[in-house]
Every structure is written in C-alpha cells, then in structure tokens.
Amino acid sequence: MTVRLVVTYFTVFILTLSLIGYYIIATTNNFFISEEKMNASKIANIISSFAANYISEDNSHVSEDFSPFLKSLLLDDKMRVLIINKDSLAIYDSHNNQAILGKAQVKKSVITSLGGKEGNENYKDETTGIDIIDVSVPINSGSGIIGAVNVVYTAEGVRLFTSAMRESFVFIAIVSGLLVGLVIFIMVNFMTRRIINFTDKITLMSDGVLDEKMEIKGNDEIARMGMAFNTMAEKLALNERQRIQFVSDASHELKTPLSSIKLMADSILQNPDISREQTNEFLVDINNEADRLNRIINKLLNITKLDTQIESGQVNFELFDLGAFVLGIAKTLYPLAMDSKVTLNLSGEKEIYILGDKDTLFQAIYNICDNAIKYSNNGGEVNIILEKNNNNAIVRIRDNGVGMSPEDAEHIFERFYRVDKARSRETGGTGLGLAIANAAVKAHGGHIDVISEMNMGSEFIIVLPLTDKS
Ligand code: ADP
C-alpha cells in the first residue's frame, strides 16, 4: 500500500507541476513575443517616416545615406531591415545579402503593407526553433505608397529566457518531487504502521484478548478511531466481566437451595428411624426451596428474554393509558398489601397515554410496588403517584419502610444484589426484580431514580418519555 500511495502521489504531483510549468512558460513566452512585436512595429514606423527621403525618384534604390541613418538608430544586430519598393522588390537589406536585392518579396506582411496597412506575423524558424517576428509598414510620400519597410527580428533573447526558465523548472520539479516523495513516504509509512498496529489489536481481540489498548498519538482521524476502539474494548471487557459475574452469581444462587434440598433429602434417607412428623417438616422445607429455585429460574429466563428483546429491538410498542394500567397492577397487589398490613394508595393523574410494551412495563412497575410492600413494616403505607410533565410520564412509588443507605442504593439495580439477604430470602426475593425493572424501563428510553433513607422509607421514580404519538 505504501509504494502504491507514494507512486500515485508522486505522479499526481509531477503532472500538476508540469502543467503549471508549461502554462507559466507559454504565457511568459507569449508576453515577450507580443512586447517584441510592438517594439519591432515602433522601429518599422520610425524608419518608414524617414525612408521616403532616401528612396530614389525611380523607386529602384535607396541613397547611400540610408545606412548611416539606420546605424544612428542603434538597432540590435538580430534585427534585419529591408526596404521594398512599390513593385515588391527588395531595394535595401541591412544585412547586405546580395541574393535578396532586386528580388520580389511576396511575404504576407509585405503584401499587406503595400496595400496601405501594417502587416505583422510571427513564426518559428524551422531549424533553430527561435521565434521570428516579421513586421512591415508602408512608406508614404506625397504621391502615395512608394514602398514598405520590412523589419525581421530573430527573438533569440526570448528563446534563451524561456529555455532557462524551462531548465530551472525541471530542476525545481525534480528536487521538490523527490522531497515530496520522501515526505509522503514517511507520512504514509507512519500511517500504515498505525493501521497495521490497529489491525493486530483487532485480531487479538477477536481471539478473546479483551484488555488490549491502542496507543493514541495526536488527535487525527486514526487517533480518534483508536479512542473509539479503546472505548469499545473497555465496554466489551466490562460486558465480559459482567457476563462471567452473572454466570457465577446465578450458579451460586441456584446452588444454595439445591444444597439445602440435597441435605434434607439425605437426612431423610440416611435416618431410618425418622418420624413421620420430622419427615413432613423436611418435605415442607424441600418444597419451599424447590419453589424458590423455580422463582429464580423463572426470573433468570425473564431477564434473558428481556435482554434479547432489547438487543434485537423486538419490544412490542402500543399506545395505552398508563393510569388504568397502574390501577390494574395495584389491584393485583391489594391482597399482598392486606396480608402485610400495608395500606396501598393510588393518586395523581388519571389518563396518561404512553407508547410502550405492556408486558415489560408490567414487570417493572409490579416489581417495584411489590418491593415497596415487602420492605414496609406492619402498618406501613405505600403511595403510588402518577404525574406528567411536557416530556415524561412519571410513576412515583413511595413507602415508609426499612429504607437503605446511599451506598446500597447505588447497587440495588445490579443483578442478585440484596441489601438484607435474610429479609429478601424471607420474602421470597431473588435479587433480580430491580435488575429486570431497570432493563425494562431502559428499553423504553426511560430511567429509574431512587431516593432512600435508612428506616425512613424509599421512593422509586420511574421516568418514561412521552413520544409524539402519546
Ligand atoms: P429482591 O428480590 O431481593 O427484592 P430486588 O432486585 O427487587 O431483589 O431488590 C434488590 C434489593 O434492593 C433488595 O434485596 C432490597 O434489599 C432492596 N430494596 C428494593 N426495594 C426496596 C425498598 N422499597 N425498600 C428498601 N429496600 C429495597
């Protein structure tokens, strides 16, 4: 990849530089040629304004004073001056070429000037490649056009200048091309090394090594990709730790009732003299533990199902009245509240329409209300209050029961976390109820807050967003 990138960048750079160079040289060349053309035209006009005085009456030659006159103009020796008579014959040549004198000059510029207008053109000399500027202007006397001045200028200076420019350009292009190539090579190599390093880390991760980190250098796109990678790796590692913790906690929770069952069954089997009454006592305990196992397994299944539903987005949203829904839950909990000698009250807004999955929200609200009753003292009071603001539907579940410390409040939504294991066990708790409630509310884009004080009571606040349709 490095070689390919370097070659591509290098080629693009050289091509761009060559195009710019070609354009600059061509423009400069054109500029100088037009300057030289103007210069030649000025000179031709000056000569023409005096030339009539030097042309003989019969239009066949120029007087001898013409050459000194031309010399007095201090013309460049690359400039050749011809005087053409009105019959297109050359009657004077500043370069004194006898072969030309007396011969007809049928050049375009001469023909134009004999017609009364200035003629000019420029072309390249076929052998030397030098630009030739050819300007002719008519010579007027009182009787009309008596001939033309033809100035031919070999613009060698322009050629020398442009070829020097071309050479410098080629030199600059090669040197800067090499420098750019080197810089690109270093940069691309640096980048590809980082990408290779990145790929290696991903490969390691896919092999199960989750504590790999990308080294972050700078703040460019690759560094940002590295940061995103590190965040993802941290999340994956955390997920993995939570998964292992969950499996170990779940096994432990299942093992405890199972061990009791085994112990009690062994006691019955190994004690042939055991009375009917004692056997019955053991069997009642075995039955309770089996129920407990059943409850844990059901909740575990529930929580796994909820996780899968949330992950796959299979939550079944429908529009319903939260007020009527919570009233239904409260009604199912009245018998339990009565048994526990707890007063259960429902107040606040009656109709709050929300979009939600009834099954999962039932578990969330039911579990929290159930806890409020379970963790209340005899004669306690549980208040369920429904509220609504611009953005949210709010269900407050307030009790004046045992409460908990702020440290415990931070952990109660973790799976299997229980403040008072004995009390939770007594009331048939599994430590999964709040974890289920939390996952269910989160699946609705909401959250649960808790305010609690030891021996004073707790308030659980379920906040569910109201959608546009609700
Ligand atoms: P459990 O099945 O043990 O009730 P939960 O997940 O529902 O499990 O609750 C976790 C722990 O949070 C409980 O064991 C209990 O200690 C504490 N808790 C929950 N609700 C209340 C409450 N209303 N008052 C006091 N403590 C509570």
- For ligand 1, atom 12, name the residue with the nearest CA: 412
pLDDT digits (tens, 9 = 90+) for 129-151: 899 999 999 999 888 999 999 99
Q: How far is the CA of 373 from the centre of ligand 1 (A)?
A: 10
Nearest to 39 by CA among 70, 75, 69: 75
* Residue 400 Cβ < 6 Å to ligand 1: no
Give the model confidence (pLDDT) of 407-466 as tens digits: 999 999 998 888 887 777 777 788 899 999 999 998 898 999 999 999 999 999 999 999
Residue 218 DSSP code: S
* The model's pTM: 0.58
CB of 363 shorter than 6 A to ligand 1 = no
Sheet containing 381-388: which strands, arranged edge to edge? 343-348, 381-388, 392-399, 457-465, 447-453
Q: Is the CB of 438 under 6 A from ligand 1?
A: no
* Partner residues linked to 346 by β-bridges: 384
Torsions phi, psi of 130, nearest 5? Answer: -85, 145
Closest ligand 1 atom to 401 CA = 24
Q: Is pLDDT above 90 for 371? A: yes
Q: What is the DSSP string of 363-386?
A: HHHHHHHHHHHHTSPTT-EEEEEE
Query: What are φ and ψ of residue 148, in 5° steps?
Result: -150, 150
Residue 375 Cβ < 6 Å to ligand 1: yes
pLDDT confidence of residue 449: 97
Ligand 1 center–CA 320 separation, angstroms: 28
Q: Does ligand 1 come within 6 angstroms of the Cβ of 457? A: no
CA distance 200 to 209: 11
**pLDDT of amino acid 239:** 86
Task: State if residue 413 touches ligand 1 by the CB under 6 angstroms criterion.
Answer: no
pLDDT tens string 34-82: 999 999 999 999 999 999 999 988 888 999 999 999 888 888 888 999 9
Kindly state if the Cβ of 364 falls inside 6 Å of ligand 1: no
H/E stretch holding 346 reads: strand 343-348
pLDDT digits (tens, 9 = 90+) for 391-414: 899 999 999 999 999 999 999 999
User: Across the strands, what pairs with 20?
Assistant: none
Q: Specify the ligand 1 atom closest to the Cα of 420.
A: 16
* 8 Å CB contact between 113 and 81: no
The H or E element containing residue 138 is strand 131-141
Asked if residue 452 lies in contact with residue 403, where contact means CB atoms within 8 angstroms, the answer is: yes
The Cα 360–Cα 366 span in angstroms is: 10
Q: Which atom of ligand 1 is nearest to the CA of 413?
A: 6
